[in-house]
Structure 1
Amino acid sequence: MQNSLDKYYDISLNNKDIKELNKTQFENSKKVTSQYELDNVEKIICWITGLSAGLVDAFFVTNYKNLSTENVTKIKDNLHLKDTGSINNAVDNRIKNLFSQAKISELEQKFKVPYDASSSKNLSDYVSGLNPKTHRIQSLGHDPILGFYYGIRDILSGQFTAIDNAGDLITQSITGNNAIGMNLFKAIALQFGHLCSDISTPAGLPIPFMSQLLRLKEGNVEGFSYNRLIKNMYAKGYNFNHLLSMSVPALIIEVLTRLSYFVYSLSKGLSFKESIPINKVKLDKLLFNSYLIASGCNGVKMIATNGNIFAFNPVLWAGTLRYGFTEFKRYLKNEKEVERHKYVFEIYKQNEAELDVSIEENIKYYKQNNVG
């Protein structure tokens, strides 16, 4: 009798049960792992956005055909960023026309700062290399970001902080400065006003943090120290205006990728909230691949111009590193498998809870009806 009932108590799984269980587990896992993977449509989105940004950079920011194949260390007119690309020219002209010459003169008089010396003529300590063409990249107060530290500090202290040709940081007091004793808020306003007075000048403002490269003391490029190379780049137009034009391809990637993600997510039946293109795992992967493709195009552009530094677009490479670092962290944490494991076990726990409730209800039913 016992043997005849064994089949009713046998809870082992046959091959069909195992296949069904594996299929269910795969489908449940796919709901999580799919956000770490790109389907064919999403891969096409990456290629379209990445190539679009890369081509815009190659032909419109600085057209590779207009860039000399000689190194920027050469002193030649054709090694200037002027007229190298339609986007670069449009951005540069727009910024240089923000203020008229009369308005620039008015701003310069109104927002005088102690760190604006264009040469060492009236300084107590000589700063080698300081001249009207490159004084803004040497004077740390002119940095669009760091200037709100160094510049404000110089204003409040009545001093001038600069980097000389040797890469040394020189700080000295400026006599006759009227800003000493000024409160912080007025110093911030003075700093902002002075940067505005410089942004529309022919040389413009330096790229944020670029001045810190002047402190590199080891190494050279074709006999040019890094210090001299950076100053030469700035004098030839590699400035804040150019940074904005180099940001256009990155803007194309950000806008097209996020918009495509939003539309495609809605088309797959996701809710509006789930489709919002902010802080999503798959969106980060899309952006990384798009930036990687665009950076690859920029690399080809540099090869085509024999390594001309003006062909280099740091904004695209920075985007690749930013999203690449995020992807690398997820890889190290094995986030995909961790989340899959967590999701599947949550389902198992939910099923177990439902089964417990069902058993309790059956026991309650049998007791109430005196069954067994």
Structure 2
Amino acid sequence: MEELDEKASASLVQKHQLGLAQSKTTELDVAIDQVEAYELENSNLIEELKKELDDLGVTFDENNPLSDLDEADRLLIELELEMQEVVDQPKLNRVEMLNFNQILDDEMSWDEYISSVKEYSDKNSLTSANPFDGLLTRSQEADLRNRIQNEFTHKAPNCDKIDYAIASTSGLICGIIDVVFVGAPGESPLGNAVDEFANKSTEKFANLLGWDAEKAGLKGSNTTASAIGFLEGKFKVNYDQATTAAVDGAVPNLSLKNHHLKSLGHSPDLIGLFFSVLNQFTSTSTFISNGQLITVDTETNELKGNNFVAKVFCGIANWFGHIMSDWTGSSGTVGQGGRGMGVPIPFYNLLLGLNVGEFGENKQSIATVATKVFEKGYDARHGLTMAIPVVLNELIIRFCWVIRARFFDSKDWKDCIPSESNPELRRMLFVGQGALCLVDGVDAVIRGGGEIVTTLLRTNLIAWARFAHLSLKELNAWAMQGKIDHVLIDKYLDQEFEKILSTSYSRTR
């Protein structure tokens, strides 16, 4: 802030000097006009005297000496009087030179320059508590305020009835799709399709690494279970303990149904990546259960690689490959015809850190309820299923907004990009996702029958997370309404700098 004030003070001094220079230019113009008038008058006088001499036949040429001394004397007296009148005229105004004391030169440092600026400001009474006040005129300040208000501030959305109708209708339609085609894990057409997609993707990934699908089929085994088994053998990790007994009782209630949830290394997000690599380097397993973070020692794990970077890369590859083997369930459960327990929805296992609250007849905490919901099949595959109506809702609203902006409001294509930075589109998405969540919530409460786990199984967590995100954006937009939008200013400055650079480049060519 101090540097900004110094620059403003320097600009104020430069403005003052520019004003003096402009004033001095005007003064010079007046003086030049006076000199020109004075010269014209002298020229006219000389011409008049020459004419009188010619009339008298008197010349001062060496070859023609004066013939009439009396007449010459009289003429000289008249000439002297005429010249005295010219001399007695008012003197020309003197133009004083400007003296800026050379505030800036090439050898000055910034501190020296600012010191000279302060000295100049004190001498010319330019010092002000706010140096920005004197930089612009009143009209310039008014114009700048109006432009900032119109172009660079957070604005309230200007949605009409059609916008709200489009958003709410889309949300209701997608809410119905969520109720009919998503529902609870393992009970929906979309869920079955996503499970099949997950199985095929696991088989495809295993096939890229050398697994033979035809050979597995000839043996009569379940191809998905065979692919999972292949990947489990190829991407072994040291943190795959599945029961409480396997960790010597350190993690209570750890089972085949929930060890993918409680083991942080099995999370398909940045948390899982971090703890997976950490566990592989330190030969440990990290679990989260009932609000506690638990670390247990495991057998020594040796990562491949000749240096640290190579070992980290090997750890990341192990994490990803192991996730691909586990997100469709273990080879044992899938081979027996079951759906299998996949990996959790990204960041879902953070709920296990909330060992608070009393829900249901058994007064269960959030961590306990979240674990039971996961054990019923609320995994990453179901998360993809739940995302389908949410994404569909977003696409419908954005598409309708683009069509209306382009063909009804006649905006340029560049102004029809469906970005959430647009206040109207952001409000429409908020309304649309709110309508979807309303339908989803009513259905979950009715079908849940008051039982917390059943209610949550039918709740679209992805839709509610998206709605919460949009709600925070709306609250922020409401709080920032009328205030400066720094993003817009940065974008405008970037565009101006690009113009300056492009102009400079074209001139140098």
| Distance in 1 (alpha carbons) for counterparts of 2:196 and 2:263 | 24
Equivalent residue, structure 2, for 1:21: none
| Distance in 1 (alpha carbons) for counterparts of 2:395 and 2:388 | 10
Answering whether residue 422 of structure 2 is matched by residue 275 of structure 1, we say no
Alignment partner for residue 393 of structure 2, among 253, 257, 269?
253
Runs of 5+ in structure 2 lacking a partner? 1-145, 204-223, 330-339, 486-509
Post-superposition Cα deviations, 1:67-117, rounded to whole Å, max 9, x if no partner, equal 6xxxxxxxxxxxxx322x221222123213433211111110111111111
Task: Give the aligned residue type for 2:324.
Answer: C
Alignment partner for residue 289 of structure 1, among 411, 431, 440?
431
Runs of 5+ in structure 1 lacking a partner? 1-24, 68-80, 340-372
Classify 1:328/1:219 alpha carbon distance in 2 versus 1 (closer, same or farther; 3 Å): closer
Equivalent residue, structure 1, for 2:159: 38
| Distance in 1 (alpha carbons) for counterparts of 2:182 and 2:296 | 40
- How many residues are aligned here? 292
1:139/1:163 contact within 8 Å kept? yes
Deviation at 1:123, TM superposition (A): 3.3
1:96/1:199 contact within 8 Å kept? no
Q: SS state of the match for residue 410, structure 2?
A: coil
Equivalent residue, structure 1, for 2:182: 61
Equivalent residue, structure 1, for 2:8: none
| Distance in 1 (alpha carbons) for counterparts of 2:398 and 2:299 | 53
2:303/2:314 contact within 8 Å kept? no
Post-superposition Cα deviations, 1:4-60, rounded to whole Å, max 9, x if no partner, equal xxxxxxxxxxxxxxxxxxxxx9xx98xx99971212321221122111111111111
Deviation at 1:138, TM superposition (A): 0.9
Q: SS state of the match for residue 163, structure 1?
A: strand
Task: Give the aligned residue type for 2:157.
Answer: Y
| Distance in 2 (alpha carbons) for counterparts of 1:113 and 1:240 | 20
Structure with greater Cα Rg = 2
| Distance in 2 (alpha carbons) for counterparts of 1:226 and 1:235 | 14
Deviation at 1:158, TM superposition (A): 1.4
| Distance in 2 (alpha carbons) for counterparts of 1:163 and 1:322 | 26
Equivalent residue, structure 2, for 1:189: 317
Equivalent residue, structure 2, for 1:153: 278
Equivalent residue, structure 2, for 1:367: none
Cα RMSD for the two superposed structures? 2.6
Classify 1:302/1:177 alpha carbon distance in 2 versus 1 (closer, same or farther; 3 Å): same
| Distance in 1 (alpha carbons) for counterparts of 2:154 and 2:311 | 55
| Distance in 2 (alpha carbons) for counterparts of 1:139 and 1:338 | 45
2:342/2:379 contact within 8 Å kept? yes
TM-score (norm 2): 0.54
Classify 1:127/1:53 alpha carbon distance in 2 versus 1 (closer, same or farther; 3 Å): same
Deviation at 1:200, TM superposition (A): 1.7
| Distance in 2 (alpha carbons) for counterparts of 1:169 and 1:34 | 45
Q: SS state of the match for residue 276, structure 2?
A: helix
Deviation at 1:121, TM superposition (A): 3.4
Q: Which has the higher contact order (CA 8 A, sep 6+)?
A: 1
Q: Please give the residue correspondences for 1:296-335 in structure 2 after superposition, counting only pairs within 5 Å.
A: 296-305=438-447, 306-307=449-450, 308-335=455-482
1:36/1:281 contact within 8 Å kept? yes
Q: Please give the residue correspondences for 1:129-148 in structure 2 after superposition, counting only pairs within 5 Å.
A: 129-145=253-269, 146-148=271-273
Q: SS state of the match for residue 161, structure 1?
A: strand
1:97/1:200 contact within 8 Å kept? no
| Distance in 1 (alpha carbons) for counterparts of 2:375 and 2:154 | 51
Alignment partner for residue 178 of structure 1, among 302, 324, 332?
302
TM-score (norm 1): 0.72
Q: SS state of the match for residue 265, structure 2?
A: helix
Aligned-pair identity (%)? 27
Equivalent residue, structure 2, for 1:236: 376
Deviation at 1:215, TM superposition (A): 2.4
Post-superposition Cα deviations, 1:192-250, rounded to whole Å, max 9, x if no partner, equal 11101111211111112222222222333221343332222111111111111111111
| Distance in 2 (alpha carbons) for counterparts of 1:213 and 1:142 | 15
Task: Give the aligned residue type for 1:96.
Answer: N
Equivalent residue, structure 2, for 1:198: 326
Alignment partner for residue 102 of structure 1, among 213, 220, 226?
226
Classify 1:273/1:122 alpha carbon distance in 2 versus 1 (closer, same or farther; 3 Å): same
Classify 1:33/1:189 alpha carbon distance in 2 versus 1 (closer, same or farther; 3 Å): closer
Q: SS state of the match for residue 101, structure 1?
A: helix
Q: SS state of the match for residue 286, structure 2?
A: strand
2:264/2:287 contact within 8 Å kept? yes
